[in-house]
């Protein structure tokens, strides 16, 4: 059964000109996402624990797609070329750090290829987000990144930051709360650029699939 907060979030996303869908689990989410992707489409992905957990990367590699594979074994120059090509892909598959009940997506990046593609470039953006990513408002979204997403992603990526060591952003520990860009000064910092995605000019370019289970960070 759909929770009231999920329904509220979907209504708000639609008011913001994004398509919104509800599924019960990750298997259904992946199936729905791939139903939007044509054979021979060029497909890019944002760095995402959600996509990996759902087997999306393996399916892109084996399926009838022109996959711009950021995870392939390659040198830095080749990887940068993949990131650049991803900006003109037919489809970007990604997750979101947070989805607000006001119909906003909130994302924080280090390299910024993911947030670049969400904002502009790919013809279609498909976002898969577990219900754990839904928050009441933008302030809660900022805090979610500082207390959940960034610390866990730093551990996943072995980045030696304050949140890697302490489990929470330095700005939160210092009592600065939801100051968006405040944080540590580590060279390993992954929080570099911050994007709030609100009302869209192109109707349903962004498709958000909300999943009735917890997925990713």
pLDDT at 16: 98
pLDDT at 178: 78
Residue 86 has pLDDT above 80, yes or no: yes
pLDDT at 177: 76
Q: What is the pLDDT averaged over residues 105-134?
A: 96
Q: Rg of the chain's alpha carbons, rounded to an integer?
A: 17
Q: Give the pLDDT band of residue 1 (cuts 50, 70, 90).
A: low
* 14-37 residue pLDDT tens: 999 999 999 999 999 999 999 999
- 4 phi, psi to nearest 5 deg: -60, -35
pLDDT at 155: 92
Cα angle 32, 34, 40; round to 5: 160
Model pTM?
A: 0.95
Domains of the chain with CATH codes: 4-137+194-211 (3.40.50.10420)
Residue 118 has pLDDT above 80, yes or no: yes
pLDDT at 161: 97
Residue 134 has pLDDT above 90, yes or no: yes
Residue of 176 and 17 predicted with greater confidence:
17
Beta strands in the chain (DSSP E): 19-23, 42-45, 66-68, 91-94, 98-100, 105-109, 124-130, 134-135, 193-197, 206-211
Torsion of CA 136, 124, 151, 50, to 10 degrees: 100
Instruction: Please give the DSSP secondary-structure letter assigned to residue 51.
Output: H
pLDDT at 11: 98
pLDDT at 176: 84
């Amino acid at each position: 059964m759909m929770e009231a907060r999920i329904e509220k979030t979907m209504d708000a996303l639609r008011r913001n000109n994004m398509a919104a869908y509800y599924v019960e689990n990750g298997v259904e989410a992946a199936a729905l996402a791939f139903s939007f992707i044509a054979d021979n489409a060029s497909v890019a992905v944002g760095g995402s624990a959600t996509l990996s957990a759902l087997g999306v990367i393996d399916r892109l590699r084996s399926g009838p797609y022109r996959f711009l594979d950021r995870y392939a074994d390659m040198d830095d120059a080749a990887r940068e070329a993949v990131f650049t090509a991803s900006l003109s892909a037919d489809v970007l598959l990604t997750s979101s750090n947070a989805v607000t009940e006001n119909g906003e997506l909130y994302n924080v990046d280090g390299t910024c290829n993911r947030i670049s593609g969400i904002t502009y470039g790919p013809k279609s953006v498909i976002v898969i987000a577990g219900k754990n990513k839904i928050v009441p408002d933008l302030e809660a979204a900022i805090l979610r990144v500082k207390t959940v997403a960034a610390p866990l992603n730093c551990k996943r990526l072995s980045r030696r930051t304050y949140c890697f060591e302490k489990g929470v952003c330095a700005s939160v520990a210092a009592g600065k709360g939801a100051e968006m860009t405040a944080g540590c000064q580590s060279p390993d910092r992954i929080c570099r650029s911050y994007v709030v995605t609100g009302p869209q000019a192109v109707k349903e370019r962004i498709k958000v699939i909300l999943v009735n289970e917890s997925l990713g960070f």
